[in-house]
Structures are given as C-alpha cells and as structure tokens.
Amino acid sequence: MPLTPEQEAEIAEARLHPRPTLRAVAEGMERHLYLAHPVLDHGFVRVIDYMGDDAAITQAARVSYGRGTKAVSNDEGLIRYLMRHWHSTPFEMCEVKFHVKLPVFVARQWIRHRTANVNEYSARYSILDREFYIPAPEHLAAQSTVNNQGRGEPLQGEEAQRVLDWLREDAARAYDHYEAMLSREGQQGLARELARMNLPANIYTQWYWKIDLHNLFHFLRLRADAHAQYEIRAYAEAMCGIVRDWVPLAWAAFEDYRLGGVTLSAKAVEVVKRRLAGEAVTQETSGMSKGEWREFEGVWG
C-alpha cells in the first residue's frame, strides 16, 4: 500500500491545523500539501513544502531587468517572454520539496538529474519493506528494434505470464533470504548494510527530493515526454498536475514552449525554408543523418 494507516492519520491531522503566514501562498499548491498521489502499484508523490508562486518569478525578473520589462504589460506576458528566451534565474526563485516512494531502478535513473537536493531512506539503518514493483501486463514489452533503450511490442499470453511469475517469485525469494540473513534463530545475523545487496532493483525505496522550478521544468520536459520510460514518466505526469496548480502561468508557458514545442537545428530550419519554397527535399539532400531525418519527419511529416 502507498501509505500506512498511521501515515494517513498523520497527514489528516496536519491538514486540520493550517497556520497563518506572511509569505506568498499558492492556493493551488496548498490543496496538494502532504497529500499522496498514487503512482505505479505501491508508489506515490507528495508535496512536503514549497516556496514562491508565479508572482515570485515576475518579481525576480523585474528586479534583475529593471526598465527592460516595462514593455511587457502583465505577468503572463513576462513569464512567456522569459520562457521563450530561455531565461532561467527567475524560475529558480520557486522551490518545492517532494516525498517520493519509487522502485530502486527508477530512483537510479532519476538521480541522474543532479540539480536537486536528495535524502534517501537508508537500508544501512532500517529494514526495507516487502514491496516490489510488478508491472501491469500491458507494460511488459519486448526490446525495441529501433531504440536500444526503449520498448517494442507488448508481450502476449503465456510469455507475459511467464515473466510476471518470474518477477514475483524472484522478488519473494530474495526478500525471504534478506530477512533470514538479518535475523536467524540463535545467531547474530548479517549487518543490514550487507544484507541489502541481495535485494532486487524493483524493491521500493523513498526519498525527499527538493528542487527549484527551473530545474524541475527540465526534469519534466525529459521525463514526461512520450519517449521516456513508462515507470519514471508515471511519476513525472503526477508531478505535472501538481506544478500546473502551483504556478499556472509558468506551467502554461512551459507547456507551450517546451512540452509542446520543438527545437530545430540550422539544417532543419533550412529544410523547412526549402520546402516552403516548393522544393522536394529528401534525407539525402537535406544534409541530415538518417536519425536526424527520422526525428524531423516525426514532427514535420
């Protein structure tokens, strides 16, 4: 289960006692505070704390740019200008701290984003719970034939069931041995920091993850993309809903210019110009590699 009854009770108690504050408050984010958003089979994402809102972004921009912002008549226009021209520091004025429960293999992919502050549950000091990520059948797929780090067609029938059975059996066996190594009858048992090495990568861990909005947008641009691995994308999509409520103006600009936009190389710009002029451009005459051309056609046809 994502949260224990004790944790649920603790969250309910915290939400019953709001505190007055003089700092900026984002009403949309207040609705998310402490609440756990379920992800995968046992995971979740929840907001522990945050700082700033849309106004904090424009405030910072106007301090640093001074008169340069007077041509922009409103906060929405200024935020869109900042996003459009890849300004970063105004978005760094907002921060958020998440509590995330996730499989270890997802955490190892996630930690590649080194622009956050992280504190993870320690299996040197504590015993990990018997909780493992077991994919839903529709998320079991063969290796992609065109992408070395992606999935292809879903597994079917007996093959899918065979993989699911192995995942469950291997996880259960590894945890049984983990428990046995920790506390054997009449013996001292193995140190926790050693016993953990036998656990599979689909066991769940937890961490606190604090990041500013600029770097969070970078994380979401990559991990909420349709090409991202499903498991980390599920977490990114949950976080997208939270950020949308927290900073709606910044989110709208991010969605328009980053999630829904594309970046063109100089060669791609030239191909678009040639096509608009009526020329039939092919991969061979474009100056692009086959991979570049495939990605270009994926957007422009």
240 within 8 A of 254, measured Cβ to Cβ: no
Q: 198 Cβ partners below 8 Å, 6+ apart? A: 174, 177, 178, 181
Strand partners, 282: none
Q: Which of 46, 80, 196, 223 is catalytic?
A: 223
Query: For residue 275, how many other CB atoms are within 10 A of its CB?
Result: 13
Query: For residue 270, how many other CB atoms are within 10 A of its CB?
Result: 15
Backbone angles phi, psi at 167, to 5 degrees: -60, -45
Closest CA to 299 of 254, 258, 263: 263
Report the alpha-carbon distance of residue 179 to residue 170 in Å, rounded: 14
- Beta strand pairing status for 141-143 and 117-120? unpaired
Task: Find the angle CA(77)-CA(94)-CA(89) to the nearest 5 degrees.
Answer: 65
Task: Find the angle CA(282)-CA(288)-CA(229) to the nearest 5 degrees.
Answer: 110
Angle between helices 290-300 and 266-276 (to 10 degrees): 50
Q: 80 Cβ partners below 8 Å, 6+ apart? A: 252, 253, 256, 257
Q: What end-to-end distance do the CA atoms of the chain give, in Å?
A: 45
Name the DSSP class of 62: H
Query: For residue 41, how many other CB atoms are within 10 A of its CB?
Result: 15
Report the alpha-carbon distance of residue 58 to residue 75 in Å, rounded: 6
Q: Is 223 a catalytic site residue?
A: yes
Catalytic residues: 223
